[in-house]
Every structure is written in C-alpha cells, then in structure tokens.
Amino acid sequence: MIITIASGKGGVGKTTTSANLSVALSKLGKRVLVIDGDISMANLGLIFNFEKKKPNLHDVLAGEAYVKDAIYKHKTGVYVLPTSLSIEGYKKSDLDLFPEVVNEVADEYDYVIIDAPAGLNRDMAMHLAIADKLMLIVTPELFSIVDGLRIKESAEMAGTPLMGIVLNRTGRDFAEMGEDEIEMLIKGRIIGNIPEDENIRTATLKKMTVLEYSPNSPSSKAYMELALRVVGSY
C-alpha cells in the first residue's frame, strides 16, 4: 500500500510523521520503504542521517542510477530512498519519472510512505495520484485545516481517498480547534493525535526519529498508536 503524507501548509509535521510512522510500522513487523518526495527541500534524509548518500533519488530521476541502488536500510529496519539537498541534483531530476520509480519497487514492501512537498503544485498532484491513500497532516489551526481540505479534495479528484487525518502539535495552544469541528470541516476521520513534544526537536537535532531517541515519550506513543490504526484499517 502506498501512502502519501501531505499537507496544505509547510512545517506542520509531514517529514516528522513520515519518518516516525515508518519506524513505528517497522516495529510492528512491517516492511516499510519511506521516500523523500520533497525533491526541492529534502529533509527526510536528515532524520535518518542519510542526506549525503550517493546515489539518491535525484540520481534516479536523472536516469543516472537504478532505484534499488538508492534505497538504504536504516538501523531501525526501515528502508529509505533519500533525496539530496543539492540544487544541481534538483535541477537534473525529471519528476515525470517518479511514478515509474515508485511502482518499480512498491511490491516489495508492505507500506511505501511518501513524504510529500507542501502546497498544491504539479509535484503534489503527482504524489497524490500515485498513492493508494492520503494521510493528511494538520495542526489544530483554521488555516492549516482549510488548506488541508483543499489537498484532500485534490486527492479525491485524482482518485486517491483520504485514509485519515493526523492532528499534529496538539496541546500547545488554548485556542486550538476541537477534533469534532476539524472532522466536520474536512469530512474525514482523525486517526492520530501527536502532541507537541520537545523530544521531537531534540531527536531531529541528533538526526534521529523520536522513536529511537525517546521511545516512551508522548509523541512516540502517539506514533505507535497511529501505526496500529494504519495496520488495522485494512
């Protein structure tokens, strides 16, 4: 199953969720590939400490490397297809090859998680179309939710249904929107609630997922619960 992790706004937790959900699914015994689909602002490689790997997705999208050679096994057991932060790498990439690249390896995994770029551009349309399901990341704020709704509608137009909403960074603000209100606005189910947790920032600085850095932290527990929901949902 291919799951695209997307949001309307940037900085809401797509990369954090892609990495930690992948590790959580792997802990449940699943074979997981996580792909850095944000080829202009690659961050996923940083969390797994793979940002300098060669070849990477840029080389594959430039037709200079085989996809299998650009997939690296992380110590958590997760397979990672990283992208580099190089501008040259971005320039030489042909994103039209992306669906082919994903389809070439998808069958070998229980889950393929795609960390998508923010916003509604052509790149995003491709990431939405290629997935079986959309996982929408929102923070409990009106703008994040309204923009998230547009992503959900675009995914549906591309034939990709919403698997569920993940509410991130909850408990930070007294004025946050309630779960019922958010579900009504987006017309979808909340399947994860990840609290604001400073362990996430510390883990990122150490180039680790929070599940490795602090497995008993509130956010780690929330990511394990999310993984259980994902596994149970089909």
Query: Structure tokens of 140?
Result: 């409990």
Interatomic CA distance for residues 69 and 55, integer angstroms: 7
Stretch that binds ligand ADP, among 12-20, 65-73, 80-88, 126-134 (CB under 6 A): 12-20
- The closest residue (CB) to Mg ion is 15
> Which residue type, as a one-letter code, is found at position 111?
Y
Contact between 146 and 138 under an 8 Å Cβ cutoff? The reply is no
Stretch that binds ligand ADP, among 11-19, 28-36, 87-95, 122-130 (CB under 6 A): 11-19
Contact between 77 and 47 under an 8 Å Cβ cutoff? The reply is no
Residues contacting residue 146 through CB under 8 Å, at least 6 positions apart: 8, 185
Query: Structure tokens of 160?
Result: 């990709």
Strand-strand pairing, 133-138 and 162-170: parallel
Asked if 16 is part of the footprint of ligand ADP (rule: CB under 6 A), the reply reads yes
Asked if 43 is part of the footprint of Mg ion (rule: CB under 5 A), the reply reads yes
Asked if 7 is part of the footprint of ligand ADP (rule: CB under 6 A), the reply reads yes
Beta carbon nearer to ligand ADP, 51 or 197: 197
Q: Tell me, rounded to whole angstroms, the distance of Cα 123 from its chain centroid.
A: 14
Q: Residue 200 touches which of ligand ADP, Mg ion, none (CB < 5 to 8 A by kind)?
A: ligand ADP
Q: Residue 16 touches which of ligand ADP, Mg ion, none (CB < 5 to 8 A by kind)?
A: ligand ADP
Asked if 144 is part of the footprint of ligand ADP (rule: CB under 6 A), the reply reads no
Beta carbon nearer to Mg ion, 4 or 15: 15
- Preceding omega of 195 cis (within 30 degrees of 0): no
Q: Taking CB under 6 A as the criterion, which residues in 151-210 touch ligand ADP?
A: 168-169, 194, 196-197, 200-201, 204
Contact between 63 and 94 under an 8 Å Cβ cutoff? The reply is yes
Beta carbon nearer to ligand ADP, 55 or 117: 117
Asked if 15 is part of the footprint of Mg ion (rule: CB under 5 A), the reply reads yes
Stretch that binds ligand ADP, among 13-21, 67-75, 146-154, 181-189 (CB under 6 A): 13-21
Which residues are bridge partners to 6 per DSSP? 136
Pick the binder of ligand ADP from 11, 99, 159, 171 (CB under 6 A). 11
CA triple 144-20-120, angle to 5 deg: 35
Residues that bind ligand ADP (CB under 6 A): 7, 10-16, 43, 168-169, 194, 196-197, 200-201, 204, 219
